[in-house]
Amino acid sequence: MPMETLSKQQWEAYCNATRCHICEKPFAPDDTRVRNHCHLIGRYRGPAHSNCNLNYKNSFYIPIVFHNLSGYDVHFIIKEIATAYDGYVDVLPITKEKCISFVKHNSTKDKTEKNFQKNGVKLRFIDLSNF
pLDDT at 73: 65
Half-sphere exposure of 129 (CA within 13 A, CB side): 8
Q: Rounded CA gap, 122 and 90, in Å?
A: 11
pLDDT at 123: 78
Using pLDDT thresholds of 50, 70 and 90, give the confidence band for residue 112.
Answer: very low
Tens digits of per-residue pLDDT, 51-109? 999 988 776 777 878 777 766 667 677 777 777 777 777 776 666 556 667 777 765 44
* Contact between residue 128 and residue 66 where contact means Cβ atoms under 8 Å apart: yes
- Which residues does 79 contact at the CB level (< 8 Å), separation at least 6? none
pLDDT at 15: 93
Tens digits of per-residue pLDDT, 13-58? 999 999 999 999 999 999 999 999 988 788 999 999 999 999 887 7
Give the domain ranges of the chain: 8-55, 61-130
